[in-house]
Amino acid sequence: MQIIFFSMILFVYILILTGNMAIICAVKWDHRLHTPMYMFLANFSFLEMWYMTCTVPSMMVNFLSKTKTISFSGCFTQFYLFFSLGTTECFFLCVMAYDHYLAICRPLHYTSIMTGQLCASLVFLCWLTGFLGHSIPIFFISQLPFCGPNIVDHFLCEMDPLMALSCARSPIVEHVFHSVSSLIIIITIVYILGSYTLVLRAVLQVPSSAGQQKAFSTCGSHLIVVSLFYGAIMVMYVSLTPGNSVAMHKIITLIYSVVTPVLNPLLYSLHNRDMKFALHQILCGIRIIQTL
């Protein structure tokens, strides 16, 4: 069974890397895609590749290894990267919602507002705030004493499984960590929903059905990604119900850490005519080179 699981995860990992790399190459090589919307999408694809890479390789090694171990420093490095990249994804989804809002609600001012400098600044702020958001709580968690069986009952180093191994749990540190996570999730999802409420109102005022269809097509894939990603993490970190079972915890983590990154390249490429054309051009170019 472990060999079967390894093969499945390897296939998914290759699929994610290939899909996101194709989007990055399409944005880089097709000059028509050198716009803020596609620059954000290329950075988002780059983020998704690293989001998977911080957990999946160690998971695959464990499937083939009899001694499924990870060092203390390796565990907390994975813990930090997983939450930092997840936080960065939340901010990127916000920025992409803001870009869609400007493009649809303020089209005449779009080019003057969303300049190349602002686009680069927003990308930099997403990465910076994402990696600073959980750095202090995770540092204090790493300073706690750990004892007991030292068995992490999860396929990655996560908050609850790690705190279960601590000899002297710190409620303050745990509360700060969950408060920061909940605050980031709630603020970003409220902003995204507010942006798309304004977008929906503007789209419904468009007289032509073709214009409405184009606007819905532009925003549809982004809304699906937002729904999948936030639906899972809100159940995990913002739910007011008592703690989920270990099995449910693993399933939910699997949804937003593996399933959503698999669907993202498909959603963003299949629902976008310009992206499909650029990917088609790349594939045709590869075939021509191979025949030559």
Q: Residue 226: which of 252, 260, 266, 183 has the closest Cα? A: 260
What is the pTM assigned to this prediction? 0.85
pLDDT at 79: 92
Q: Which two tokens stand for residue 14?
A: 């290759």
Q: What is the CATH number of the domain that holds 126?
A: 1.20.1070.10
Amino acid code (one letter) for 74: G
H or E stretch covering 75: helix 72-105
- Within 10 Å of residue 2's Cβ, how many Cβ atoms? 12
Question: DSSP class of residue 244?
Answer: P
Structural domains of the chain, count: 1
Q: Which two tokens mark 190?
A: 């409220």
Q: What is the pLDDT of residue 91?
A: 94
d(CA 167, CA 160) in angstroms, rounded, equals 14
pLDDT beneath 50: ranges in the chain: 240, 242, 287-292
Give pLDDT, residue 244.
54
Integer Cα distance of 275 and 280 in angstroms: 8
pLDDT for residue 238: 63
- Domain containing residue 237: 2-291
